[in-house]
């Protein structure tokens, strides 16, 4: 036991360098490139999920008091779906894509070959510590890379479980786990990677990007932001608020990057929205939600203090219209609704990442789009309306990582859609084939024979050659004929 603690303690830049040498050797051997290796690892992740489901649920309960349904469906189930898609489609993804050629290279053929980048680093987040650790790993393995996973130390039970299980189920010569906090992450970031995939907040995202820039390493940054939900009148309000609640409080008690960060609705409609939210929240979590077993707790004391500070801000403390109860000992905060929150308040100027839901009011619902676009681009944006023109305007004018009409968060489960941010909510995307592409290099290949060699590309250059080459580059058949005939 002491030697294990000592081994973890001494993971520094030297240890990281030694680990990289082993991984590079494994990758250079070609073992990760084969279809058979990739398929074996993906199937073993599925086996891990099936055989150790209870261990995973227990770890998530320890870290976040996460309800079993959320753990089973939103973490284990979604990861299994990612694996199943990769297993089903891998042969197709690996196949070279045919590409058209032009008359300038005739006769020729071309293709795009997806090749693995090399050794990649994945730094995951604490809020969905199982899914957000292994979902990118699925893409990295499918693409044929060697991988290092750094789980979040803020979810220590899940981090420890991953460090234990991954060597049991996966090829430990090519897929490794490093536990730890800032010193270990710093040592990892000092190494030269072929790609870094980071899920978390913008502050750390900037540190990751700065470290990557030293080696010109490309990055995928899955960050967050203030994801709005715009609520129009004339809708089925009960269904709308139920979907907002599920996307907010049933997603880790608001500790999710795509949960609704605030609502915008009209002044006239706001009272109805508040009443509907109160009614449905009581149905879901009872009169005393602090005692509900269906709500995750706040992850730690630091985040509890941060959320308390947002609530106690003088500008918003009098705006609470529902909830606000807190249990510091058990790190619980009840679902809380705040009405008519000032836009210059603290709660509206940072991502909430918790069970607090401010409501902004506008004179007409179209004004909400200007509010959204006046801030940084969010990871997600939601609109509830039956107005076709409003839907079109929302899609055309609101810039976000992803949009959903008349629901929240469900785009996450559509593997044919890219999931990622824009601007300060992230760089790059993944899920389904987008995960495979995120960890692949698209290599351009042109095939030619020795037939059809054209003297016009070789010196000495003449006016006739110039005319014909310009016509060939222009792609006009008439122009080529004129050049061949010597016409200007």
The residues spanned by each domain of the chain are: 13-223+431-442, 228-423, 454-485
Q: Which of 453, 449, 479 is nearest to 466 (CA)?
A: 479
Mean of pLDDT over the chain:
95
For range 242-271, the mean pLDDT: 97
Pairing between β-strand 326-327 and β-strand 320-322 as defined by DSSP bridges: unpaired
pLDDT value of position 6:
44
Q: Of these residues, 70, 75, 184, 222, which one is catalytic?
A: 222
C-beta separation of 124 from 139 below 8 A: no
Domain formed by 228-423, architecture:
3-Layer(aba) Sandwich (3.40)
pLDDT value of position 1:
42
pLDDT in tens, 423-448: 999 999 999 999 999 999 999 999 99
Q: Of these residues, 257, 280, 351, 424, which one is catalytic?
A: 257
Q: 299: burial class by Cβ within 10 Å (0-12, 13-18, 19+)? A: buried
Q: With 80 as the cut, is the pLDDT of residue 139 above it?
A: yes
**83 noted as active-site residue:** no
Q: With 90 as the cut, is the pLDDT of residue 293 above it?
A: yes
Token representation of residue 94 = 């690996």
Rounded Cα gap, residues 464 and 483, in angstroms: 7
> Model-level pTM?
0.94
**21 noted as active-site residue:** no
Say whether domain 13-223+431-442 belongs to CATH 3.40.605.10. Answer: yes
C-beta separation of 432 from 416 below 8 A: yes
pLDDT value of position 100:
95
Rounded Cα gap, residues 317 and 311, in angstroms: 6
């Amino acid at each position: 036991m002491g030697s294990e603690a000592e081994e973890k303690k001494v993971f520094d830049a030297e240890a990281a360098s030694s680990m990289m040498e082993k991984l590079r050797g494994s990758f250079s051997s070609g073992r990760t490139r084969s279809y058979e290796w990739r398929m074996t690892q993906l199937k073993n992740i599925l086996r891990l999920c099936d055989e150790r489901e209870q261990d995973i649920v227990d770890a998530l309960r320890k870290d976040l008091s996460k309800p079993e349904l959320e753990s089973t469906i939103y973490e284990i189930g979604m990861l299994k779906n990612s694996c199943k898609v990769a297993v089903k489609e891998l042969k197709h993804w690996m196949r070279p894509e045919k590409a058209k050629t032009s008359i300038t290279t005739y006769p020729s053929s071309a293709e795009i070959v997806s090749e693995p980048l090399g050794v990649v680093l994945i730094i995951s987040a604490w809020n969905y510590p199982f899914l957000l650790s292994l979902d990118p790993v699925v893409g990295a393995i499918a693409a044929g890379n060697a991988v290092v996973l750094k789980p979040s130390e803020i979810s220590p039970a899940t981090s420890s479980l991953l460090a234990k299980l991954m060597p049991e189920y996966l090829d430990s010569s090519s897929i490794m786990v490093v536990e730890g906090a800032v010193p270990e992450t710093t040592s990892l970031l000092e190494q030269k990677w072929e790609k870094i995939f980071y899920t978390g907040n913008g502050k750390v995202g900037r540190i990751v990007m700065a470290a990557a820039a030293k080696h010109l390493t490309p990055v995928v940054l899955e960050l967050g932001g203030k994801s709005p939900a715009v609520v129009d009148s004339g809708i089925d309000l009960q269904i709308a608020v139920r979907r907002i609640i599920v996307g907010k409080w049933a997603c880790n008690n608001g500790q999710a990057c795509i949960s609704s960060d605030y609502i915008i609705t009209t002044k006239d409609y706001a009272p109805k929205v508040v009443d509907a939210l109160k009614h449905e929240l009581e149905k879901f979590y009872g009169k005393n939600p602090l005692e509900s077993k269906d709500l995750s707790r706040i992850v730690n004391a630091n985040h509890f203090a941060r959320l308390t500070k947002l609530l106690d801000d003088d500008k918003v403390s009098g705006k609470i219209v529902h909830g606000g109860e807190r249990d510091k000992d058990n790190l619980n905060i009840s679902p809380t609704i705040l009405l008519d929150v000032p836009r210059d308040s603290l709660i509206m100027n940072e991502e909430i990442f918790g069970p607090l839901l401010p409501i902004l009011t506008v004179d007409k619902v179209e004004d909400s789009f200007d509010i959204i676009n006046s801030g940084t681009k969010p990871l997600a944006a939601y609109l509830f309306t039956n107005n076709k023109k409003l839907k079109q305007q929302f899609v055309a004018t609101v810039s976000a990582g992803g949009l959903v009409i008349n629901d929240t968060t469900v785009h996450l489960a559509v593997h044919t859609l890219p999931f990622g941010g824009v601007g300060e909510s992230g760089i790059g995307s993944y899920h389904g084939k987008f995960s495979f592409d995120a960890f692949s290099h698209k290599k351009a290949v042109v095939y030619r024979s020795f037939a059809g060699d054209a003297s016009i590309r070789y010196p000495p250059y003449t006016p006739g050659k110039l005319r014909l080459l310009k016509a060939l580059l222009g792609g006009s058949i008439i122009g080529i004929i004129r050049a061949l005939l010597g016409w200007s």
